[in-house]
Structure 1
């Protein structure tokens, strides 16, 4: 049964298919989340999408399972609301280097976090700007209300929207996820989404931020294939040292 559950989770969020939409949410106010990024990943045989978010002018964060194959190319669109409309606010920047966490496990989705070094620095505007990351001592407690946004599917057998959607979710006790997901880690993951409510992310939202009080605390990672909650988010505060070190290492520099 454990093996079957893992296979179902990977079928939902596998890099070879579409990633994790917003269910039970609503259209976001245009450009109210200027850190949001729309990722288009091109592999040898298909294109799929993920979410992401700008954390520095030349770096974005997303989920490691959004990397695709080794020969993938990734384009990051910033400043978008209607992703199908070439809005003047949009900036499309190729990824220079995708840097998944060195201990990312594609079987259990542990350490599901990836930095994207952009080919050039984003131009910071009212529609494009980085979001703050948590501090070491920040905590995300059960009962906190956070939000998730993305361009993912609106439900099972439903299409993706053109316009950015968002939904408010409640952080849950770790026990709510640990008995649903055998590899859940209280140290490196956050459990969010009231199981009594039909509110969650879905296919296409993987890699987007879980935002609590204006701070990116989590990254959309995985959940049940039918969209029921709670779902699992990578806990960003557990990876601050890796993020900061990676973004400052000389070998990753080179953005214009």
Structure 2
């Protein structure tokens, strides 16, 4: 069981396993998160759901988070980039560090993002909507590409992955999916195809039919699919309520 978060002190960020480089700025909702927690710095993904809120995983928390929007290559200062500090972090009140249940967090930005051709929103699903097994979705991130090296691509990578039946993440005692909860999690990625999110991709969206259906949460230590995603549709009431409460 490993949260898909990568520490810079250990390695350079790599990329999605079995993926390819995304067309620059083809995913204007993607957010790159630089997280400082004491002396360590880590990275996560996230996605813009309103002008002043980014949705990500609750385990992507830290003392200080900087959000970079409109980014493709993290090593360059692209004209398209908007760098916005996070004013406040709102992890789900029932997030469980051990089981990764309710692994979802809203980040309130210090100022509104400017929506343009490089920075945009992604729609959220209808509450409690479920994707049929076999639905092909896509993932994107700046995380590792392999469990065996720390070769990094500084550009956004993407891959297509398949929604699996819940039974593909079996809750065997002692097994890696023992904490899988079908009401709050999604089992995604065909083991035969080998494509998956991995360390550093945490918090990024699972995009199905142009909506953010999942959030990269956790998976196996070696990055073999299926990986587990937070089921966004379960949390729509919480997301709406939290955002409404914080709107000026």
TM-score class, shorter-chain normalisation, is over 0.9
Runs of 4+ more than 4 Å apart: 12-20
Aligned residues: 241
Partner of residue 3, structure 1: none
Task: Work out whether 1:33 is the aligned partner of 2:55.
Answer: no
Give the distance between the partners of 1:172 and 1:239, measured in 2 at CA: 20
Task: Work out whether 1:74 is the aligned partner of 2:65.
Answer: yes
Which blocks of at least 5 consecutive residues in structure 1 are unaligned? 1-7
Q: 2:150 aligns with which of 158, 165, 181?
A: 158
Q: Structure 1 length normalisation: TM-score?
A: 0.89
Give the distance between the partners of 1:135 and 1:153, measured in 2 at CA: 31
Tell me: CA distance 1:240–1:20, structure 2 relative to 1, closer, same or farther (3 Å).
farther
Give the distance between the partners of 1:30 and 1:77, measured in 2 at CA: 15
Contact kept, 8 Å, 1:13 with 1:20, in 2: the verdict is: no
Q: CA RMSD in A?
A: 1.9
Give the distance between the partners of 1:100 and 1:54, measured in 2 at CA: 16
Partner of residue 211, structure 1: 207
Q: 1:46 aligns with which of 22, 34, 40?
A: 40
Give the distance between the partners of 1:238 and 1:188, measured in 2 at CA: 6
Contact kept, 8 Å, 1:20 with 1:205, in 2: the verdict is: no
Point out the structure with the larger helix share.
1
Contact kept, 8 Å, 2:56 with 2:215, in 1: the verdict is: yes
SS at match of 2:169: helix
Give the distance between the partners of 2:9 and 2:55, measured in 1 at CA: 20
Q: Structure 2 length normalisation: TM-score?
A: 0.92
